[in-house]
Structure 1
């Protein structure tokens, strides 16, 4: 169930890809591409970065995208903080993941804004698109993928 107030901690299947890694999220049927050091980007730069990521096909896939608001919010572990994430997701990179991350979801009411999540406490809110936030990527998990 998305947005569980306190979802059960799960294990993620982590596969290294150079210095980055892919996580298979069997609970949500998603694959996450997690850069070793997720870059700070404006929202427009984050959206534009998807084409570059797909051109190199990390993990053998060329259909990565920015997560939508619900997908990124579904990762929040409301019973944790700094970061408000399952440790299986962020590994030993707690400092980086205690920051803000972009979603691919624009804020419909105001075109100058897009949704972001601050994983320090799991807050989701609209950010000005010129703000710098970190970027991770997602794709739908295909049955029997590595």
Structure 2
């Protein structure tokens, strides 16, 4: 199956707080991110006041060597909730985002990311601003082990 994509949108979003687990990767080790997702689900974290309906994968704190922090988690309504020792909190900034919505094999997600950064943003004259980029995985009745609905959110000026 080929990935189905909707046209790039530019939306204004409120600040969000996500609670989850974080690990460090680089462009070579990023292939291990699916194992982080599996470990998150297997741990069956009890995240207080989580918002039903979506999961998040957040890329933050990237540096010039290509190293970045990746968080798997759920949005929460209580920003000051006490966290279990193995969990962390990530704030997603309020503001304007370029959003690409897609449905397809997760193996194609890196190519969709590349499309957003290398074609979509330049074609719209958009520049990335400070803030984390993230994937949002909404509930979708079509989701299966092989294909999923997902959204790529990039903070833009």
TM-score category (smaller protein): 0.3 to 0.5
Tell me the TM-score normalised to structure 1 length: 0.34
Higher strand share: 2
Tell me the TM-score normalised to structure 2 length: 0.32
